[in-house]
Every structure is written in structure tokens, then in C-alpha cells.
Copies of this chain bind each other. A is one copy, B any other.
Amino acid sequence: MDTDRDTLIDLYLRMVRIRTFEEQAGKLQEAGKVPGALHLYVGEEAVASGVMSHLSNEDQITSTHRGHGHLVAKGGDFKKMFAELYGRETGYCRGKGGSMHISDLDLGMLGANGIVGAGPPIAIGAAFSNKYRKTRNVTCCFFGDGASNEGTFHEAANMAALYRLPVVFVCENNGFGEFTRQERHQAIQDIADRASGYGMPGVVVDGMDVMAVYEAAGEAIERARRGEGPTLLECKTYRFFDHVGVRGMGVVYRDDSEVIEWRKRDPLVLFEARLLEMNTASAGELQQLRERVLFEVEEAIAFAEASPFPADSALLEDVYTVTGG
């Protein structure tokens, strides 16, 4: 392992930020403070964190309905995020998008998306743009195992390979599309096997191991930057909570024992152990870091709660851009 300390801590920090954000968001929803549907990312933190630590603000990502983790890992501002979940004017989308459409174009985060499979086509557009402008920027496209069955993925993957676009398709295979287990939605085990059908490399990686994701993503992203085209990177992971909301156990579509098994491979716990083992940081330092993040999250929640709702006039604003023409 030759990754430097800063990178390791950075990876840990990204994961902690996601976990803390999501746990608090879940609590707020249970308390009835946050309306709508929250699809939480708890359990999958290693994927977003491992990928995002290779990206700058000029690199883009497309996201999914389960998008908070992606935005947090991309550097999202807790305040604007919570304000958005609360539907406030100070939120990322002036409260108009909510959880399923949270986005930050300045960070290259092209939006959570309520339509499964909507990301891949948008991602190739951003990648096309990067190539057109002859930049070295890369677009990472996050999508689920369920989304891998949508036609949009197929169309985008084919075009990405054909044009050798600088894009990485990051499949977050958490074993379920909503309440349907992978083996009941596709007859294959490794979604990465689809890559060869487009003429791109397919890679499977342990999505609970942030270092493994970091390394595999690094290679795929570098490949894209070099102009060698797309990669399909499948990260095997697991969703600890329910499809929507926080309940993870006692559900009809999976056994608690399965959840318990996967929780033993909690990416945060695994990585913390590794950091301690490698003496990268002391338990106290990590504890401090977690506390700092929790404090930030609490501050952000307070900010959100103190923020105003959008004025009635906002209803008809932002439908069209008024410049140009």
C-alpha cells in the first residue's frame, strides 16, 4: 500500500461524512421533519468515496435516486443539502428538487435523479463535452444493479465505447432493485460481464473495501483521462437500510441474517480497523474527526431549520432561462 496518509484520511473522512449525513437525515425523516422519499446510502459509502477522491470539480458525475452519498463525497455543502431536504430557499435547488434531485453543477454533480437509468445518457453527454473541449476531465456515472437492466444503460454504454468517451460506469451492485434481489432481476452474477458486449473493460471490485474501490476507480479514471475510453466498474456492496427510509431489518424481501452478515463488512468499520492497524491515525484522532463531522451536520440542520421556505413567487420561476434567444 503506497497511498499517502492524506489520501487515506480523506477517504475515511468522505465515508464518515456520508454516514453521518445519512443517519441524521434518516432520523429527521422519522421525526417527520423531512417530507418525501429518502433513499439512503448507508452501507455503500466506500463506493462514492473511493471513486470521488480521484475527481476534481471539473470532473462530473451523474447520480441516482440514492444520491446524497454521491454529492457528499463530491464535496457537497451540508448546509445546502439539508436545506434542500427541508425544501428551503437556501437549499441546493431552492427547495424545488428535494432529495431525488439534489445537485451542484459547480461541483460537477449533475443531479440525483428520480428516473432509474436516467444517468448514463446524461453522463455520456458530459463526457462528450469533455472530449469536445479537449480537456482531460472525466465523467463518472453511478447506477444500480437494477438500473443495469434499463435500455438507457445499454445505449449509453455502447455510445461511450464507440466514441471512446472519458466516462467510467460505476455500477453500485447492492444486490437489490428496490425489493427484488439481483438473481430475480437478471440471470447473471457479475454485471461487469456486460462490458465486453460494448467493447470496454469490465472490472469487479469489493465495494465494501474503500481501498479496493479507490484503486480500481483510479485505474479506470486514468484510462479515461488518457483518452482510452470507458470502463465498467462493478462494486459489490449492500444497502443496510430499507429501499426508502431507515428500517433495514424485519423486511419481507430479505432475511435479517443476511443484513447481519453484511454489516460485519461495514465499510467504515473495515477501513477504520485498517487505518488503526497501519497506524495511519489513532482511535482518538478518528473519533475526533467523526465528532467534527457530526458537529458540522448538526450545524447544517440548524441552518436548514432556520432557513425560509421559498416565496410563493418561486413557483413559476426557473422553468425557463430568460437570457439568450
Closest chain-B Cβ to A228's Cβ sits at a distance in Å of: 12
Chain A 141-160 per-residue mask, 1 if CB under 8 angstroms from chain B, else 0? 00000000111111100100
- A155–B154 CA distance with the chains assembled, in angstroms: 9
> Which of chain B's residues have a CB closer than 8 A to the CB of A270?
none
A223 close to chain B: CB less than 8 A: no
What is the distance, in angstroms, from A109's C-beta to the closest C-beta of chain B? 25
User: A155 vs B116: C-alpha distance in the bound complex, in angstroms?
Assistant: 13
Which residues of B sit under 8 angstroms from A197, Cβ to Cβ?
188, 193-197
Q: Does any Cβ of B come within 8 Å of A186's Cβ?
A: yes
**Bound form: Cα–Cα A54–B194 in Å:** 31
A303 is an interface residue with CB less than 8 A from chain B: no
Could you mark each residue 188-229 of chain A with 1 if its beta carbon is under 8 Å from any beta carbon of chain B, else 0?
Answer: 100001111111100000000000000000000000000000
CB neighbors of B among A175-196 (8 A)? 184-188, 193-196
CB-defined contacts of A149 to chain B, threshold 8 Å: 154-155, 158
Q: How far is the CB of A102 from chain B (nearest CB, A)?
A: 26
A161 beta carbon closer than 8 Å to chain B: yes
Chain A interface residue number, banded: 20 to 34
Q: Give bound CA distance, A162 to B198, whole Å.
A: 20
Q: Residues of B contacting A193 with CB < 8 Å?
A: 196-197
With a CB–CB cut-off of 8 A, which chain B residues contact A194? 194, 197
* Contact with A155, one of B151, B184, B188 (Cβ below 8 angstroms): B151
Q: Is the CB of A162 within 8 A of B187?
A: yes
Give the residue among A151, A164, A184 with the most B Cβ atoms within 10 A: A151
A49 to chain B, nearest CB (A): 28
Contact of A185 among B153, B162, B184, B188 (CB under 8 A): B162
Q: A155's closest neighbor in chain B, by CB?
A: B151
**Residue among A151, A158, A161, A187 with the most chain B CB within 10 A?**
A187
Q: Which residue of B lies closest to A121 (CB)?
A: B151
Q: Which interface residue of A154, A155, A185, A196 has the most chain B CB atoms within 10 A?
A: A154
Q: Which 9 A/B pairs are nearest by Cβ-Cβ distance?
A: A151-B151, A187-B199, A154-B154, A194-B197, A161-B187, A197-B197, A188-B199, A162-B187, A149-B158
Cross-chain pairs A/B with CB under 8 angstroms, 27 sampled: A149-B154, A150-B151, A150-B154, A150-B155, A151-B151, A151-B155, A153-B154, A154-B154, A154-B155, A158-B186, A161-B188, A162-B184, A162-B186, A162-B187, A164-B187, A186-B198, A186-B199, A187-B199, A187-B200, A188-B197, A188-B199, A193-B197, A194-B194, A194-B197, A195-B197, A196-B196, A197-B197
Q: Which residues of A contact B (CB under 8 A)?
A: 149-155, 158, 161-162, 164, 184-188, 193-200
> Given known contacts A194-B197, A195-B197, A196-B197, what 6 new A-B pairs fall within 8 Å (CB)?
A151-B153, A161-B187, A187-B199, A188-B198, A188-B199, A193-B197
